[in-house]
């Protein structure tokens, strides 16, 4: 069964406090936090949930969110296997999403590929 892949971005937490960091000279946001959401939900359902996150049930799980995080001077992948509408509301208040495509990879396969890239 295919799973659906979405690219998600949001402004960095502190970018709004320093306007020069928030927008590029052409007015586009360029310092962003990035995540990749992999979900079993059909594309139409996911789109509706993203568009109506403020009204949807907070308990709905969207899927697994893979995020690159800076910890102790190095980048680590943070995996949120129960990424929910509630986390979307609280952590991703202002976000952009784009549908990327489908994958047959399981969470374990994605994790193994990620580990191979870190070596």
Decide: 92 and 7 in contact? Cβ < 8 Å. no
When pLDDT is cut at 50, 70 and 90, the band that residue 31 belongs to is low
In this predicted structure, what is the pLDDT of residue 118? 58
When pLDDT is cut at 50, 70 and 90, the band that residue 46 belongs to is confident
State pTM to two decimals: 0.76
Among the listed residues 97, 102, 95, 35, the one whose alpha carbon sits nearest the alpha carbon of residue 69: 35
Scan for tokens 């998600």, then name that residue: 8
Q: Rounded mean pLDDT of 23-44? A: 74
Residue 49 has pLDDT above 90, yes or no: no
In this predicted structure, what is the pLDDT of residue 2? 86
Q: Where are the beta strands (DSSP E) in 1-119?
A: 3-11, 32-39, 61-71, 74-84, 96-103
Sort residue 72 into left (φ over 0), alpha (ψ -120 to 50) or beta: left
Residue 18: how many other CB atoms lie within 10 Å: 10
Of the chain, the percentage scoring pLDDT greater than 70 comes to 78
- Measure the CA–CA gap between 70 and 76, rounded to whole angstroms: 6
- Measure the CA–CA gap between 106 and 81, rounded to whole angstroms: 12
What is the per-residue pLDDT across 59-111, written as a single tens digit (0 to 9) for each?
Answer: 888 899 998 776 777 777 788 999 988 888 888 877 888 899 999 998 888 87
Residue 24 has pLDDT above 80, yes or no: no
């Amino acid at each position: 069964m295919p799973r659906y892949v979405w690219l998600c971005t949001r402004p960095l937490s502190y970018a709004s406090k320093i306007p020069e960091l928030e927008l590029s000279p052409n007015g586009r946001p360029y310092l962003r936090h990035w995540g990749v959401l992999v979900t079993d939900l059909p594309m139409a359902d996911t789109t509706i949930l993203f568009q109506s996150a403020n009204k949807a049930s907070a308990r709905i799980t969207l899927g697994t969110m893979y995020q690159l995080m800076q910890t102790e001077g190095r980048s680590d992948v943070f995996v949120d296997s129960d990424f929910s509408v509630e986390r979307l509301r609280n952590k991703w208040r202002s976000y952009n999403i784009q549908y990327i495509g489908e994958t047959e990879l399981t969470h374990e396969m994605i994790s193994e590929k990620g580990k191979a890239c870190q070596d």
